[in-house]
Amino acid sequence: MSNVKIQIVTGDARPIFKQIVDGIRMEIARGELPVGTKLPSVRGLAMQLMINANTVAKAYGELTAQGLVEPRQGLGLFVSEPRQLLSEEEQKKRLHTAVDNFVNEVAYLEFRTEDILKEVQDALTKLEGASSPNDRN
């Protein structure tokens, strides 16, 4: 079983369950939680994060619905093989929403467009490098 390395931020606008979903999704995307990794039990993660177990159960339910993890009868929850459960139209809609939110966040920062694009490119490159086993040395 892997130790999930996420933190809950009390001032975050996202609900706690969403912070858990986002944190675990990023760990999976970066390869920090590879396919087949057993996640902590609901109670175990709730104790680690010092939050209500129902909140963890809700987050695990969302991760399961997204196809990122799968329950194995009597064994727990495991990171599953990547598979796309969203239609191409829904993927595009989510991309546009994420880009709109991002642009809204950075619109009033005093950075040039080139600097912002470089930051985004660097972050995506790190993500691609982490999720590709051939790039790890």
Report pTM.
Answer: 0.70
Domain ranges of the chain: 16-79, 88-135
d(CA 52, CA 42): 9
d(CA 121, CA 90): 23
Q: What is the pLDDT along the chain (137 residues), one digit of tens a residue?
A: 667 888 888 888 889 999 999 999 989 988 899 999 999 999 999 999 999 999 999 999 999 988 899 999 999 999 998 776 667 887 788 889 888 888 888 888 889 999 999 999 988 887 776 655 444 33
Which parts of the chain fold into alpha helices (H)?
Answer: 16-29, 42-49, 53-65, 88-106, 113-131
Q: Which residue has the tokens 């969203």?
A: 86
What 3-state DSSP class applies to 105? helix
- Domain 16-79 fold is Arc Repressor Mutant, subunit A (1.10.10)
